[in-house]
Amino acid sequence: MAHPLAVFILQLIIIITASRLCAFLFKKIGQPPVMGEIIAGIALGPSLFGSLAPDVSSFIFPASSLGNLHLLSQVGLILFMFVIGMELDLNIIRRKARSAVFISNASIILPFALGAGLSFSLYNSYAPAGVSKLSFALFMGIAMSITAFPVLARVLKEKKLSQTQLGAVALTAAAINDVTGWCVLAFVIALAKAEAIDSSFYTLGAAAAYVLVMLFAVRPFLKKLSKQKSNDTLIKQSTLAIIFLILLGSAYCCEVIGIHALFGAFMAGVVMPLQWDFRKLIIDKVEDVASIMFLPIFFVLTGLRTQINLLNDPALWSVCLIIIAVAIIGKFGGSFIAARMAGEPAYESLAIGVLMNTRGLMELIILNIGYDLGILSPEIFTMLVIMALVTTFMTSPALDLLGRVYKR
């Protein structure tokens, strides 16, 4: 029973069972299934399972097995970010660009400024030793600014708002927000990993060259390939191999450059041509594998890092509440004000503010990157995870409340 393979299989059985059960229960109460999967991951960590049955928890999740789980979770995240990039319809962004860009920028600038400002009061007490004040401030700003595009898309679909004007503006703003957020995150990672300012500029220069190659070399190549394969009714293994090689090559380049492999996976999805009839088939197949097998592993790893019992002092909970309040005020307030200034009616502006305040999985991915880089301490990491859960959990009830108030 203690053999590494046996332990790994047992881990998968428990992780998948818990995630599917919690996803089912959360869907029943009107929450996105991904919220249930996140809660399942945290429940399997030291915050609940580890506290109730520490010996059993240490047997199922021994420290020696966490390295393998981490690598598998990264593979899952690479596949997931590839799907997010493929689902990003650049034509929608072009059609709704004017108001959406304004809303998206406002929903980044205000929370980023508030998060960076808050970081200066938290730095001395909560930043890990050796982390520069600039890196900590920039990362706190990013953590406050992100919107969970995939969760938002699923909420809009469940509320039957995807095809409305509200849905189009919110989705476009969230898509632009994600692209901008990942670009800023790449800069922060380059700054954090660099030993000197000079090397961070080299990293950013290499990243800019990489983006240009993806847009002006890889993308045209894939468009030509899509025309040659346009008569194929089924996707061939050779075509699928090329797609996966581009995905892995893109992720590898970003990791070697000094920004994260996930940015490379996202860019690989963005440059995939819209003309392919089997594009949806690729998305569905890859998303199923990533969502059922790999992402629950990522949630459990996040849960193992989230130690709510660390917040064992009223002062720590006060800081956590301040972080949540700053996150909501920045994201909701910035989006709402920008939507009103862009000419949106009151209901649509409030709904956009609520939707853009959704953080979900994308926030957890960024927080784990910060934890791996040593920018976030366990206490701050736990507080930000709680913030992500609260802001995501409140989305669906807040939309229902707005609907009742405005009789929509």
Convert the pLDDT of each residue in 213-268 to its tens digit.
998 999 888 888 777 766 655 667 777 888 889 999 999 998 888 777 888 888 88
Q: What percent of the chain has pLDDT over 70?
A: 90
Q: Rounded CA gap, 328 and 358, in Å? A: 9
Identify which has the larger pLDDT, 300 or 97.
300
Per-residue buried b or exposed e for 351-362, using 16+ beta carbons within 10 Å of the residue's own CB: bbbbbbbbbbbb
Q: Is 129 helix (H, G, I), strand (E, B) or coil?
A: coil
**What's the pTM value of the predicted model, to 2 decimals?**
0.80
- State pLDDT tens for residues 201-212: 777 788 888 889
Token reading at 268? 């690989």
Kindly state the average pLDDT of the residues 191-196: 64
pLDDT at position 230, please? 60
pLDDT at 96 over 70: no
Place 171 in a pLDDT band, splitting at 50, 70 and 90. Answer: confident
Q: For residues 278 and 231, is the Cβ–Cβ distance under 8 A?
A: no
Q: What is the DSSP letter of 313?
A: S
Q: Of 302, 291, 393, which Cα lies nearest the Cα of 42?
A: 302
* Residue 242 C-alpha from the chain's centroid: 26
Q: Of 365, 358, 297, 359, which Cα lies nearest the Cα of 16?
A: 297
- State pLDDT tens for residues 277-294: 666 777 777 777 777 888
Q: Of 65, 80, 48, which Cα lies nearest the Cα of 9?
A: 65
- State pLDDT tens for residues 35-58: 888 889 889 988 888 888 888 888
Q: Rounded CA gap, 251 and 297, in Å? A: 20
What type of residue sits at position 14? I
Which are the contacts of 298, defined by CB distance < 8 A and separation ≥ 6?
41, 73, 76, 77, 364, 365, 368
Q: Which residue has the tokens 């890196």?
A: 135
How far the first Cα of the chain sits from its last, in Å, is: 56
Kindly state the average pLDDT of the residues 170-178: 77
CATH assignment, 87-285+310-405: 1.20.1530.20
Q: Rounded CA gap, 27 and 12, in Å? A: 22
pLDDT at 67 over 80: yes
